[in-house]
Amino acid sequence: MPLVSFSLRVHAILVAVYPVEFRRRFGREMNTIFRNQMLAATKAGEWWETLLIWKHELQDVILVGLPLRLADSLTIAAILSASITPLVFISLIWSLENSLAIRSLFRRALGI
């Protein structure tokens, strides 16, 4: 049963990919079905069935969970913020280390 408990823990992490509202509505049912499938595959001693369960689970996360998560506007804002902030930081560091860039910034700011 260590395989089942490990699989349940990993599955719980993967369910977090789905949006909050989706998890509230279907999360318990998803966990129950996955647990039952894993227990049945383990009792039957069919390792290939366990692999098939995981294959379908990963497909579901990639084809359903990620698109639902990316459709969420807060997720898009977080992704944009996480990708743009380092670019702004790097450009500021570059401009502070580059004396020509600093002079150009002052000239534009002062209208010289």
pLDDT in tens, 32-89: 999 999 999 888 887 888 889 999 999 999 998 888 887 877 777 777 777 787 877 7
Q: Which of 41, 29, 56 is nearest to 1 (CA)?
A: 41
Residues 64 and 77 in one domain: no
**Dihedral sign from CA coordinates of 24, 27, 32, 35:** negative
Q: For residue 72, give every residue at least 6 positions away whose Cβ sits within 8 Å of its Cβ, in sequence order, or none.
A: 19
**Residue length of the chain:** 112
pLDDT given for residue 31 in this prediction:
93
Determine the Cα angle at 102 with ends 98 and 107, to 5°: 150
Distance CA 99, CA 105 (A): 10
* Total domains, the chain: 2
Answering whether pTM is above 0.95, one says: no
Q: Which domain holds residue 33?
A: 1-71
Residues 6 and 44 in one domain: yes
